[in-house]
Structure 1
Amino acid sequence: MGLDAFVNCNCLREGKVKPAPFDLSLLEWTDDGIEMPDTVEDEIFYQFHEWKEQACTHEDMQIYSDRVGNTSGMNVYYGVLERLGEERFPLLRRIWGSPFTAEESRKALSELEQFERRVGEVEGIFLLESGSMEEYQMTLVGEDRWFYSAGNEITYRLNPEGFCVQDREGRVLFQSRAFTQETVETNRSGWQRFNARFSDSDTGSTCETTSPISKKIWGVEELYYPASFQVVNRGLTSSDLRAIRVLRKLFEASIQTGNPVIWV
């Protein structure tokens, strides 16, 4: 789940598309982009979608498309909007709705510039690998966010107290702002697995679970398990919100082409 968006190119209007196996006059500009009416025969409908993928130099006739954010990323985005005052950003708060016209995109870009200037006023909580300081999870101060659940038995959470392991009844099994992770190889049902032993760096308290915190590295088959973590609080930067970068490109593409931003 999450939010995706795109802006169509003008190649169809400018006659820069490849020959089509159907009558181009059938095509319509709709709230969903360039589409074929539902009333056409199935064969034409399938021909259109196959042709559209490579009809011009832009894949699927989209000059720009991207994921604005996954569910957690959009929750952070809306959380920041709320803290800065949603009423100040009337367009940015309704991006998950009807398409934005080019004129709305122009106004939304102005809102986005103000939003980016003020994002540092909001404080975030970050779970970082101690060595590289790479971010693994984040939430906003004042929130208690779960980011992992193991069969409803335990959840991993990030909140003002730090990293937290809770059982299904909500009891805190482990809480820390600086801790190590030791992975222990085990065999479950004939499969190689790893358990995790978390140890608080200050108190020495420990917690063992069947789910280490891991990361997938592109091109490497084995998962990477960091040895230590820390939780830090700091003001947000624009790079913490993927939505800022993507929205800017969407609005600029809309202004450039005169075509709407379509939310998916």
Structure 2
Amino acid sequence: MPVMGVSGYVHCNCLRDGRARPPAELSDIVVDRDGCWDVSDGDWRRRLVLNEWLQRACPHREMEFITERVANHGFLGRFSSEMEELGRQHFPVLEHVLSQLNAAPVPAELGQAALAEVDYFIQRAFIEDDALLYEAGTDVVIWDEAYGRAVEQAADLGMGVDLGGFFVRRACEDGDVELFRATRFTQEVVDPGDDTTPPSVRFADGTHEVTLPIGPIGYPGVGPERVPANLETRTRPPTLHDYRFSVYALRRLFAAAVETGNPINWC
């Protein structure tokens, strides 16, 4: 199921309420199975007339009460993870809607329940800025908090990035032990390793350094032979490409469905 660039829209009621008056040749306007305006016989010539008329039929563009971009990169995975943490039993309608995203229209009858679930999510979800690791002094993103944590299984070592900076931890029976943390630091490959010996990397931030049997932090998609020497963490506020914007877009669509009594359609 594709989820890149999915938008949702809800039709206005201008045609139903007589505020939009089609010409005589468009007296049989219908909504097709995909939620689009059409003429009953599907004649392509009359469709051209319809498409032209929709541009000026009422104050709403193409008689759409609201149009919202919903899905973007990583939306389903991140949103689903948040719902999992809060308990999926609280989101039966949202789970159904997401499973049909970019497919079947959402009936207006589901709007009120969906609004309640979205509000529950917004009030309780742990929504904060993202943490990213950059090559210092550049806009090159090396690591996004959403990537998770890399683990060096042989040494029980793991590294990652969070709002407190970059970290390296060792897994122990009593819990993780943090070996290094910094927001601005250097890395140096002391030993590249081979088939029998793990690599060794020195991390230093000017006041503390540690050398560990773990692979270096590399550029995305680039082999270990080229790694950045200077790194820094930064936080990033929500952007258009974050799932939380999709959550609020969904809320506006559900509210429009409740207000108009019309379904949400996808495009």
Shift, 1:103, TM fit: 2.1
Residues 147-162 of structure 1: pairs in structure 2 closer than 5 A:
161-162=160-161
| CA-atom RMSD in angstroms | 4.2
More strand by share: 1
The alpha-carbon distance between structure 1 residues 9 and 128, as it changes in their structure 2 partners (threshold 3 A), is: farther
Match status 1:22 vs 2:11? no
Bigger Rg, structure 1 or 2: 2
Give per-residue Cα distances to partners, 1:144-200, cap 9 Å, x unaligned: 7xxxxxxxxxxxxxx961399xxxxxxxxxxx964589xxxxxxxxxxxxxxxxxx7
Could you tell me which of 99, 103, 113 is aligned with 2:119? 113
Residues 131-170 of structure 1: pairs in structure 2 closer than 5 A:
139-140=145-146, 142=148, 161-162=160-161
- What is the one-letter code of the residue matched to 1:161? G
Residues 1-264 of structure 1: pairs in structure 2 closer than 5 A:
1-20=4-23, 22-25=25-28, 27-37=29-39, 39-96=41-98, 97=100, 98-120=104-126, 126-127=131-132, 139-140=145-146, 142=148, 161-162=160-161, 178-179=183-184, 202=205, 229-230=232-233, 241-264=244-267
- What is the one-letter code of the residue matched to 1:162? V
Distance 2:260 2:266 in 1: 17
Distance 2:36 2:217 in 1: 57
Number of paired residues?
Answer: 196
The alpha-carbon distance between structure 1 residues 18 and 87, as it changes in their structure 2 partners (threshold 3 A), is: same
Shift, 1:112, TM fit: 0.9
2:70 alignment partner, SS class: strand
Give per-residue Cα distances to partners, 1:105-137, cap 9 Å, x unaligned: 0110011111112202x788522789xxx9x88
**Contact 1:124/1:141 (<8 A) preserved:** no
Distance 1:8 1:254 in 2: 9
Distance 1:15 1:6 in 2: 21
**Contact 1:80/1:119 (<8 A) preserved:** yes
Equivalent in the alignment of 2:155? none
2:59 alignment partner, SS class: coil
**Contact 1:99/1:261 (<8 A) preserved:** yes
Q: What is the percent sequence identity of the aligned residues? A: 26
TM-score, structure 1 as length reference: 0.59
Equivalent in the alignment of 1:215? none
Distance 1:47 1:201 in 2: 69
Shift, 1:246, TM fit: 0.9
Shift, 1:35, TM fit: 2.1
- What is the one-letter code of the residue matched to 1:66? E
**Contact 1:162/1:231 (<8 A) preserved:** no
- What is the one-letter code of the residue matched to 1:127? L
